[in-house]
Amino acid sequence: MAEEMFCPNCGTKVKTGEAFCPNCGYKLSSTAKSAASSERNEDTSATSVESEQSLQRSTAAQPQRPLNKPLIIAVVAVIVVLVGGYLGLKDYYQPQKQLDRIISAMGNTDANVAKYVKTDDPTLQHKLSEKSLKPTQKYFESNRQDLADLKSSLQKENAYDNSTYSIEQSGNAWLFFPRYKLNIKAAYVTLSSNHNGVAFYQDGKKIWTTTSDSSTKKVGPLFPGKYTFKSVGKIAGRKLGNTSTNVLTSGTQNVSLKLRIATFTVKGRQGADVYLNGKKAGTLNNEGKLKFKDYPISNDLKASIAIPVSGQTLRSKSVDVNAKLMYGETTITPAFKGVVSKSDAEELLESAFSGTQSGTEDSSTAELFDGQESNSSYNDLLKFFDSFKTNDNIDDYTAEVSKVNSVTPAGKNKATVSYSVKYTFNNSGDAGDSTKVQQFTYPNAEIIKQGDDYKIKTIGVTKSADWEKNYSNDD
């Protein structure tokens, strides 16, 4: 509806569009235009307000899009996996943990150590495999202290065994983590023999046959470790062999596999079984001996004996026969672990007899006995020698361990010892001065090992003199 208008001059109501006031004749055209313009502005303003309100209503009414939760979860999961994987790999490829895995595999023949190993020798690198590294693992598996020394050296970033083994970085794992490997230098061995037609074997596999009496064969490259080499041939129609087990290190080593024979005797307790390289080869006779005549000698020939003790079999330590023969010794006497030797038994008994002659003042003598001052044999010796001192007919005397007749194993760290003692008495009496010499044998003394020392448990019992000699000092 149009807004009502009035004459600005007289105030009379006028119609819209009239040019003059009907009352006073005032010209209304400019006022009408102004009013119309005002009206249009008001309409435009109203329209603008309405448009803005409409836009606000439109904007307020527009709905928000829902969040893509599966996508967000997937992204978060990927981030968690990547971060966790990185941290896990970082921990796995720590230098110390890599070294631990290498050392563990080196000392276990069931493990695949090849993946941790490299070598500077191109030919040996081409041979790198689980099988080619077994000799290395066999050695460290049976020599745990050397394995510990290897680890200790590598931890200090030092080479081990004359630079045979060293730890080196070998590329990266997963681009970010340094990968370490054990670098092993190559070993070679030169085999030699003294006859034509001799076959050489390496760990049971034939590798060559000699073509002259002074043939040599260089074998390698090999990974360092424990290998067994063998030669087999004939001398005067007799089949002979020589076996040598060697621990190879880097560089070149010489191994002689000459075919030879020798004569030697194994000695020990009567009735003991004799073993050569773990196989029974005979029994000691009533003299405690077994002779081997023209026997094939190998580099690793070992001799041992075994005896029954308290229902069990006691095995002696092994003796290197080849080493003994090289020094000109043809009598092999295997000893038992923890069992006193003849020379040590003689020294121990001599000290005990010499010390107890001086009486209780020599307390160090008691330390030679099991139980020291409480040992019955120690106290019996003190009383025995004290009886000589109170004998008016004996001016002075000496007691000397003249011989250890035998040492017989009586169990672990225990032996029965037979020994002889020579007594010399200088006497005086109504019949004049004289000297008496007697020898007594003590067949069943017991000597045991305690820690690193041998101790006398009992001195044994003697019954009568083996022999007696009397000398008159007046002659």
The whole-number pLDDT of residue 47 equals 54
Cα gap 34→40, rounded to integer Å = 10
Q: Is residue 64 part of a domain?
A: no
Distance CA 102, CA 183 (A): 11
Q: What is the pTM of this model?
A: 0.60
Tokens 């001192």 — which residue?
389
Residue pair 90/174 in contact by the 8 Å Cβ criterion: no
Residues 106 and 172 grouped into a single domain: yes
Q: Are residues 381 and 462 in the same domain?
A: yes
Same domain, 106 and 201: no
Q: Quick check: is 73 in a domain?
A: no
Domain residues for 236? 187-256
User: Tell me, what's the pLDDT at 64?
Assistant: 64
What is the structure's pLDDT at 171?
85
Instruction: Burial-class residue 435 by CB neighbours within 10 Å (0-12, 13-18, 19+).
Output: middle
Same domain, 193 and 177: no
- Measured distance CA(411)–CA(336) in Å, rounded: 9
Find the CATH number of the domain harbouring 202: 2.60.40.10
The answer for 171, left when phi > 0, alpha when psi is -120 to 50, beta otherwise, is left
Write down the pLDDT at residue 48: 52
- Give CA–CA dist 224/251, Å, rounded: 9
Return d(Cα 258, Cα 1) in angstroms, integer. 137
Q: Give me the CATH number covering residue 347.
A: 3.10.450.50
Residues 169 and 157: their CA atoms lie apart, in Å, by 12
Inside any domain, residue 353: yes
**Tens of pLDDT, residue by residue, the chain (475 residues):** 455 677 877 777 777 777 778 777 777 765 455 544 555 555 555 455 555 555 555 555 556 667 678 878 888 888 888 777 767 777 787 888 989 999 999 999 999 999 999 999 999 999 999 999 999 999 999 999 999 999 999 988 888 988 899 999 888 877 888 899 999 999 999 999 999 999 999 999 999 999 998 889 999 999 999 999 999 998 878 889 999 999 999 999 999 999 999 999 999 888 999 999 999 999 999 999 999 998 999 999 999 999 988 788 999 999 999 999 999 999 999 989 899 999 999 999 999 999 988 765 557 899 999 999 999 999 999 999 988 888 878 888 899 999 999 898 988 899 999 999 999 998 876 666 888 999 999 999 999 999 999 999 999 999 899 999 988 866 5
Domain boundary among 302, 332, 362: 332
State both tokens at 176: 């970010």
Q: What is the pLDDT of residue 1?
A: 46
Number of domains the chain is built from: 5
- Rounded-to-integer distance, Cα 122 and Cα 136, Å: 18
Burial of 289 per CB tally in 10 Å (0-12, 13-18, 19+): middle
What does the alpha-carbon distance between residue 294 and residue 259 come to, in Å, rounded to a whole number?
Answer: 12
Q: What is the pLDDT of residue 459?
A: 95
pLDDT given at position 52: 55
Give yes or no: residues 402 and 420 share one domain.
Answer: yes
The C-alpha atoms of residue 264 and residue 331 are separated, in whole angstroms, by 6
Q: Does some domain include residue 136?
A: yes
* 243 and 278 belong to one structural domain: no
Q: What angle do CA 118, 119, 123 make, to 5 degrees?
A: 120
